[in-house]
Amino acid sequence: MAETSTVCPYCGVGCGLRVEPGDGRAAVTPDVAHPANRGRVCSKGAALGETLGEADRLLRPEIGGTPVSWEAALGEVAGRLRSVIETHGPQAVAFYVSGQLLTEDYYVANKLMKGFIGAANIDTNSRLCMSSAVAAYKRTLGEDAVPCSYEDLEQADLLVFVGSNAAWTHPVLYQRVAAEKRRRPELRVVVVDPRRTPTCDIADLHLALRPGSDAWLFDGLLSFLAREDGLNRAFLDAHTQGLDDALAAARAAAPSIPAVAAACELPAAQVAEFFRLFLHTEKTVTLWSQGLNQSSSGVDKGVALINCHLATGRIGRPGMGPFSLTGQPNAMGGREVGGLANQLAAHMDIEDADARDRLARFWGVPAVAATPGFKAVDLFEAVADGRIKAVWIMATNPVVSLPDGERVRAALAACEHVIVSDCVRGSDTVACADVLLPAATWGEKDGTVTNSERRISRMRAFLPPPGEARPDWWIVTEVARRLGHGDAFTFRSPADIFREHAALSGFENGGARLFDIGALADLDDAAYDALAPVQWPVTPATPSGTTRLFADGCFATADGRALLLPVAPRPPAVPAGDEYPLVLNTGRIRDQWHTMTRTARTPRLTTHMPEPFVQIHPLDADLWHLAEGGLARLSSPHGGMLARVKLDAAQRPGSVFVPMHWSETYARDARANVLTAAVTDPVSGQPEFKHAPVRVEPF
Ligand code: SF4
């Protein structure tokens, strides 16, 4: 069979791959022509060919554990949704979707919920990953719009990784940076992270700050820049507002280098070195990821970081900018079609009456949902207390990935109508389903995804779905038809959906919103199939896409000015104490992805770190009588888990690290998120996964 060009289904780097299917497997090689990876691939991407096959796949729809026909299953889903809507109203149903869905899947799910069911109760696991960055961008730049491109990393003279172990979480991007550092040793790399991670291998400076203290660091940087005459007054005057208030807050919180050093528990000399590097290096990119986002003050931390780039005018030019690294392959694409409960499709605001009217006219409905729906954590709270009577979960495993996992499982157990679309049976959430719908997966479905640098790529099928598995867009479309909305859900292919999505982005836009791919609305099927990777916006004025946003200093706010905002740093919501004295930090490891439903299929990946572990500093291990290789029990007020002890001086004393991947499917008592609290950022709703007080004892 001929080779197929597609993209990797794992992280937000969005690497292009070439796939040649063989006998039950496939040869997967990096696509040298794809701009994201330029011929590189990481361990997970390289092993994709070994993860194919029918083992553990869901092959037929099921109702109550009994296999049924698609006709019966679709009728059952539509009947359950209709019954709940008629009895309890549209607010009593919810969709919980995933950054693993393709943009086309997401589009139809969002259209059905916000346009035709009439509620905004569709949220996504991207809430756990990027929602704080989204809110920080919207508040400062006016839109959820990543300013930079990957090529900026190679053009910068200083790269600052904040709360990001890119070496493991965005490996190909890290490979690109490491190669540039080898080529150009004068490139400076700073890592800001309580842990010493593999990303520090190329760092000139590692700031192992107190967990949760990032806002003091960036407030301190802003006040330092002002003291040292490092502000770009011409840029600030021409293109921003809010400096005075932002600066006053920064000075109050972090007035001096010793004050920052004390707040962050860092040596003052290290703080000074970082601040001077930033002051004197025009071409600076500051990258951040979950270490900042997964916090009860994640939005403020992102704002404090962006303030420093606005204050120095380091945005919209080559080698400069604030750059959030997206966790999932299509968290961006999901946001573009309105996959968050507090936004509409095409980056329109749900609070904007004109936007709602525009969308209603485009979809041909009297009105669309007018008030924000439940964000992920609140959505499952609403399931738990009965406000949500029917929940449809697509391509995600919230029993493992949401905080306070036992409460999520109990909520689903008590819910009358739990519909789950998934490709595998081995998921803790599948076990909670009343109706199971077998979904097609990577290699079997066609559509588009958007990576961290706003690049839209085609994911292409190269295998038929096994059994009766179907693409998610098809499943949602068929349910919409059975709910009586057939006239608006006439889609026959992903290309049909993409054309409508692209047309909506340009509909009565006139440059008001940056997310505009209206120039792609007329692609015929062949052109859609051949679509080359392209960065949005894609408009008649920019038909080849847009490398960098805000190059003209014009931002996506009403007056075109970016907004610097005051940030008053807050500590994590729940401090460590006598009963739970250690701070738990959760995260990814190099060779696993999410809850392991794909990556656990190949020994090549499971041998790297074969079991759940707790990484702890040797001093803490002594204190709590823990030995290398022994089993430990971790406890919090919410639950407990077991993990193998790993002593590691890279761990900051007082804190421990546990990977978030394992579930009951793969090991006993292995879910890290039974320990974490359902504490979220008040603006973004993103959970505080990086700071949960725990106790660790020998088991
Ligand atoms: Fe896939 Fe990310 Fe690895 Fe690229 S870096 S091959 S997108 S997991």
Secondary structure class of 206 (helix, strand, coil): strand
Same domain, 227 and 96: no
Q: Does some domain include residue 310?
A: yes
**42 and 116 part of one domain:** no
Given the DSSP bridges, would you call strands 66-67 and 321-324 parallel, antiparallel or unpaired? unpaired
Is the pLDDT confidence value at 34 over 80?
yes
How does pLDDT run across 554-600, given as a tens digit for each residue?
A: 999 999 999 999 999 999 999 999 999 999 999 999 999 998 988 98
**471: domain CATH number?**
3.40.50.740
Q: Which of 6, 28, 29, 42 to mutate to test the pocket of ligand 1 (most atoms within 8 A of CB)?
A: 42
Which residue range is the domain that position 238 belongs to? 131-325
User: pLDDT by residue (tens digit) across 3-29?
Assistant: 999 999 999 999 999 999 887 678 999
**Ligand 1 atom at shortest distance from the alpha carbon of 17:** 6
Measured CA to CA, the distance from residue 241 to residue 238 in angstroms comes to 9
ipTM reported for the complex surpasses 0.95:
yes
Is the pLDDT reported for residue 346 higher than 80? yes
Same domain for 25 and 95, yes or no, is: no
Same domain, 426 and 320: no
For residues 226 and 353, membership in a common domain is answered with no
- Quote the ligand 1 centre to 329 CA distance (angstroms): 9
68-100 confidence digits (pLDDT tens):
999 999 999 999 999 999 999 999 999 999 999
> In this structure, are 240 and 140 located in the same domain?
yes
pLDDT, tens digit, 9 for 90 and up, residues 133-173 = 999 999 999 999 999 999 999 999 999 999 999 999 999 99
Say how far apart CA 421 and CA 469 lie, in whole Å.
10
- Centre of ligand 1 to C-alpha 660, Å, is 18
Ligand 1 atom at shortest distance from the alpha carbon of 8:
1
Within-domain flag for 562? no
Confidence of residue 328 (pLDDT cuts 50, 70, 90): confident
The answer to whether residues 99 and 201 belong to one domain is no
Ligand 1 pocket: which residues have CB below 6 Å? 8, 10-11, 13-15, 37, 41-42, 44-45, 170-172
- Give the count of domains, the chain: 4
Average pLDDT across the chain, whole number:
96
Sequence letter at residue 608:
H
* 98 shares a domain with 151: no
The pLDDT assigned to 659 comes to 96
Residue 178 belongs to some domain of the structure: yes
pLDDT tens, position by position, 409-442:
999 999 999 999 999 998 999 999 999 999 999 9
411 falls within a domain = yes
Our mutation pick for probing the ligand 1 site, out of 44, 150, 177, counting the most ligand atoms within 8 A of Cβ, is 44
Does residue 511 lie within any of the structural domains? Answer: no
b (16+ CB within 10 A) / e for 307-322: bbbbbbbbbbbbbbbb
Examine the fold and report which residue of 297, 325, 353 is the final residue of a domain before the chain moves on: 325
Looking at the fold, whether 380 and 255 belong to one and the same domain comes out as no
93 CA to centre of ligand 1 in angstroms: 35
Whether residue 335 is found in the same domain as residue 425: yes
Give the dihedral of Cα atoms 552, 557, 562, 565; nearest 10 deg.
-170
pLDDT at 605 (0 to 100): 94
The DSSP H or E segment spanning 583 is strand 582-587
Give the Å distance between the CA of 597 and the centre of ligand 1.
Answer: 16
Report yes or no on 202 lying in a domain: yes
Confidence check: pLDDT of 606 > 80: yes
Asked whether residue 577 is domain-assigned, the answer is no
- Return the amino acid letter for 336: E
pLDDT value at 201 more than 70? yes
Same domain as 120, residue 44: no
Strands of 435-487 (E only): list them.
435-438, 447-450, 455-459
Model confidence at 485, in pLDDT bands (50, 70, 90)?
very high
The model's confidence at residue 217, banded by pLDDT at 50, 70 and 90, is very high
Q: Contact at 8 Å (CB) between 692 and 618? A: no
Query: Does a structural domain hold residue 574?
Result: no
Q: What percent of the chain has a predicted confidence (pLDDT) above 70? A: 100
Pocket-testing residue among 6, 7, 13, ligand 1, by greatest number of atoms within 8 A of Cβ: 13
Tell me which of 6, 8, 153 to substitute to probe ligand 1's pocket, judged by most ligand atoms within 8 Å of the beta carbon.
8
Q: CATH number of the domain at 590, please.
A: 2.40.40.20
**Residue length, the chain?**
699
Domain with residue 15: its CATH number is 3.30.200.210
pLDDT level of residue 1 (50, 70, 90 thresholds): low
* Atom 6 of ligand 1: nearest residue by CA position: 45
Q: Please say which residue of 293, 325, 357 terminates a domain.
A: 325
Phi-psi region of 315 (alpha: psi -120 to 50; beta: other; left: phi over 0): beta
42 and 120 together in one domain: no
Atom 3 in ligand 1: which residue has the minimum CA distance?
42
Q: What is the pLDDT of residues 621-676, one digit of tens each?
A: 999 999 999 999 999 999 999 999 999 999 999 999 999 999 888 888 999 999 99
